[in-house]
Structure 1
Amino acid sequence: MIIDIFGAGSLGLLFYSKLALTEEEIRLNLWTRTEEQASLIREQGVQFYPSANSVSLMDSLTIPAKGSVKPVSDIRQTDQNQKADIILVTVKQTHLTTDFVRQVGKRASERTAIICFQNGIRMDNLWRDQWQVYAGITTEGAKKPSAHAVVHSGYGETVIGRLVQGHSTADRGDESKGAENGQSDAILLLLNLWTKAGLNASLSNNIEMAIYRKLMINAVINPLTALWRIPNGELLQSPERISVMKRLYEEAIQVYDKADIEWSESLWNDILQVCRATASNTSSMLADVQQGRRTEIEWINGSIVEIGQRHQIAAPGHEWVCALIEAMTTKEAD
């Protein structure tokens, strides 16, 4: 089996490391953004820390490069027999462009399963209709202390589900639904590999509910941690902060109800639990703000605003956090 991973950030390096450690007969190809990172991994491998505690203990494993490690710019058209069986797309929404999808497409055939791990409402209509496109939602914790190191900072679960014709729904008014049948053999083999790697992974016949659950959690937690420059757990340190969180939550629930988007009564408690479980974590949005990079706010809170506009319901709180976060970006990522 050939597995290509596009994106050598924390999640991409985590999946690469865990799959390499299975010692199964697979070929792993890692596609990075820069030649510098690819060269570093080819020469020194990936330093994998199996837990947050292992960092202070300097307890890491060196995983030699397995398969090809190259920048995306080096992709060439390859023989059909060498196309990937599985493609994991772990880049952020800000990098998921038409040109990027075209590059990924050089590694795909009609039988290739493409799994997208982006936050927020996806741009899956960029993918060709004949491709097998899946959405992936994960709560695995990963940190990248350097260009060739990754820390498995917290165990979670990964859920994937088929998106019909490669298109994500923008709300429940769409006809597109997660496929209930016909999962590819490659997907089933990947789930087996993830299990052998010690990762909790499963298929879902209602992936859209998982997408909108993750969207809500990100829309409440991420922008506030970025605005207040605090780790996730400190959101719960005062009644005033919790009150602001609750306002964003209730506003989004009104949008969900108007758009007929399915949600669970436990969702507010889920948000609080995520804050507790990831108390020391720096959200990805805060990390982007600290580095002056463009954030994913457009696809997270901006998605809630857009859905509300289509259904004639305002989401002023989410509009404000979008404006505030966007105004904090001072430069683009290199």
Structure 2
Amino acid sequence: MRIDIVGGGSLGLLFFSKLALSWHTDDMEHQGNDHQPDRLHLWTRTKAQAQHICQEGILFQTGQDQPVQKLLPTSISGCSVAGVEGSFKLEQAAPYEHTTPYEHATETITEKADLILLTVKQQHVNREFIQWLSERVHKHTIIVTMQNGLRTDRIWPDAWQVYVAVTTEGAKKLSPVWVVHSGHGATSIGDAAALYGTSAARDMAKSIQHYDEGTIAFLLKSLTKAGFNASLSKDIKLEVYRKLMINAVINPLTALWRIANGELLASKSRIMIMRQLFDEAAAVYGKNDIGWSESWWNDILQVCCATSANTSSMLADVLNGRPTEISWINGAIIGLARRANMKADAHEWMCRLIESLTTEEAD
């Protein structure tokens, strides 16, 4: 089985590191046998990042206060790293990636993947990206997307088998080669038919009870062995919309006020604005016959407490001058509101304010 992880950001480095360490342990246990290792490959945006990882390794911490482990992919059977240079961006390059020369080229990968885990952000999944991805798939390849927010466009080819993953794992990228597992969570995987309506996904949904014989079962087993809490979801749509609401309340406010997650609860006025965003999203869900629960408000408060010191992904993008995922988070709620002929004024303001932080000045 060959797994590709696409994206050298925090989640990509986290999942690659833990899977590689797990497979390294497995490989050590089978030394001297005729064990054929599975293949695990990481795709980074730039060749420079990939070469740096191949030469120096990944610095990985299982927690903020844990010792740093050095993972050298080239020393692990079945693991490899390569960079993608193209018209689309998988992540913004670090300054050194434009200036630091590397003598050794990364591995040229031609073998197609059986499973592809996408950890790139929504704004990077464009037509050029899909075109590149088409070179990595064969007719039975399963693609698992792991992005914040919700897409409403039909970007995935009907013939592709697309799954959706919702994760609450926390990861913090300290450098292009240094990642910290900043918070343990859970990862749910489900077929994308309810969200994207692809014919292949519908076919897969019909035989979901036989998943234990297939690729998704292998992924769940591999993730569990690597230390992740991973499971197959019977209602991934509900989990996607739950996470969408949580992100739509937390992310834009932390980015706008430049504060850590926990500071959202520092005053009644901040909580009042959070509640306004929550109530408006709940009304939009109701008009679209999307199930939601009042308990989700408590989930939002709990997330703020559990990740009190964390920097949201949207705040990180704003601080680094990168485009954000606002169009697929609060923008998705606005789209649902328009579909129901209603307004979502609070979320529209969030979009305008966040976009104003990252848009270049007009001439």
Provide the TM-score with structure 1 as the length reference. Answer: 0.91
Match of 2:48 among 27, 36, 39: 36
User: For structure 1, which segment, 250-259 or 124-133, has the greater mean C-alpha deviation from structure 2 after superposition?
Assistant: 124-133
Structure 2 residue aligned with 1:307: 336
Structure 2 residue aligned with 1:233: 262
1:150-197 CA distance string (max 9 Å, x none): 10111000001011298269xxxxxx8992633361110110111111
Structure 1 residue aligned with 2:103: none
* Aligned residue runs from structure 1 range 91-110, under 5 A: 91-110=120-139
One-letter amino acid of the counterpart of residue 69, structure 2: S
* Residue ranges of structure 1 left out of the alignment (5+ in a row): 170-175
Paired with 2:22 and 2:109, the residues of 1 have a C-alpha distance of 29
- Give SS of 2:250's match: helix
Paired with 1:131 and 1:205, the residues of 2 have a C-alpha distance of 20
Structure 2 residue aligned with 1:246: 275
Aligned in 2, Cα 1:168/1:279: closer, same or farther, shift over 3 Å? Answer: farther
Aligned in 2, Cα 1:177/1:242: closer, same or farther, shift over 3 Å? Answer: farther
Aligned in 2, Cα 1:77/1:156: closer, same or farther, shift over 3 Å? Answer: closer
1:91-116 CA distance string (max 9 Å, x none): 00111111111111211112111000
Paired with 1:168 and 1:233, the residues of 2 have a C-alpha distance of 37
Aligned in 2, Cα 1:93/1:168: closer, same or farther, shift over 3 Å? Answer: farther
Mapped contact 2:73–2:81 kept (Cα < 8 A): no
One-letter amino acid of the counterpart of residue 49, structure 2: Q
Paired with 1:219 and 1:177, the residues of 2 have a C-alpha distance of 32
Mapped contact 1:91–1:118 kept (Cα < 8 A): yes
Asked if 1:62 corresponds to 2:71, the answer is: yes
Asked if 1:153 corresponds to 2:165, the answer is: no
Match of 2:226 among 171, 192, 197: 197
**Displacement, 1:225?**
0.3
**Displacement, 1:289?**
0.6
- Give SS of 1:52's match: coil
Question: Between Structure 1 and Structure 2, whose CA radius of gyration is higher?
Answer: 2
Provide the TM-score with structure 2 as the length reference. Answer: 0.83
Mapped contact 1:7–1:90 kept (Cα < 8 A): yes
Match of 1:181 among 204, 207, 219: 207
Mapped contact 2:195–2:237 kept (Cα < 8 A): no
1:284-313 CA distance string (max 9 Å, x none): 000111111111000000110111011011
Moved over 6 A (4+): 74-77
Mapped contact 1:294–1:331 kept (Cα < 8 A): no
Mapped contact 1:77–1:107 kept (Cα < 8 A): no
**Displacement, 1:83?**
1.6
Aligned in 2, Cα 1:257/1:166: closer, same or farther, shift over 3 Å? Answer: closer
Aligned residues: 321
Structure 2 residue aligned with 1:2: 2
**Displacement, 1:62?**
2.5
**Displacement, 1:76?**
8.2
Structure 1 residue aligned with 2:11: 11
Mapped contact 2:167–2:185 kept (Cα < 8 A): yes
- Give SS of 1:21's match: helix
Match of 2:346 among 299, 310, 317: 317
User: For structure 1, which segment, 182-191 or 245-254, has the greater mean C-alpha deviation from structure 2 after superposition?
Assistant: 182-191
Mapped contact 2:40–2:80 kept (Cα < 8 A): yes
Aligned in 2, Cα 1:165/1:270: closer, same or farther, shift over 3 Å? Answer: closer
**Displacement, 1:77?**
8.8
Mapped contact 2:194–2:237 kept (Cα < 8 A): no
Asked if 1:276 corresponds to 2:305, the answer is: yes
Structure 1 residue aligned with 2:59: 47
Paired with 2:192 and 2:305, the residues of 1 have a C-alpha distance of 31
One-letter amino acid of the counterpart of residue 5, structure 1: I
Let me know the Cα RMSD of the aligned residues: 2.3
- Give SS of 1:125's match: coil
Paired with 2:225 and 2:4, the residues of 1 have a C-alpha distance of 18
Asked if 1:119 corresponds to 2:131, the answer is: no
Aligned in 2, Cα 1:166/1:35: closer, same or farther, shift over 3 Å? Answer: farther
Paired with 1:219 and 1:194, the residues of 2 have a C-alpha distance of 28
1:113-150 CA distance string (max 9 Å, x none): 10001111126722221111001100001011010111
Structure 2 residue aligned with 1:259: 288
Paired with 1:209 and 1:62, the residues of 2 have a C-alpha distance of 36
Paired with 2:195 and 2:340, the residues of 1 have a C-alpha distance of 24
User: For structure 1, which segment, 2-11 or 45-54, has the greater mean C-alpha deviation from structure 2 after superposition?
Assistant: 45-54
- Matched-pair identity in %: 54
Paired with 1:77 and 1:60, the residues of 2 have a C-alpha distance of 27
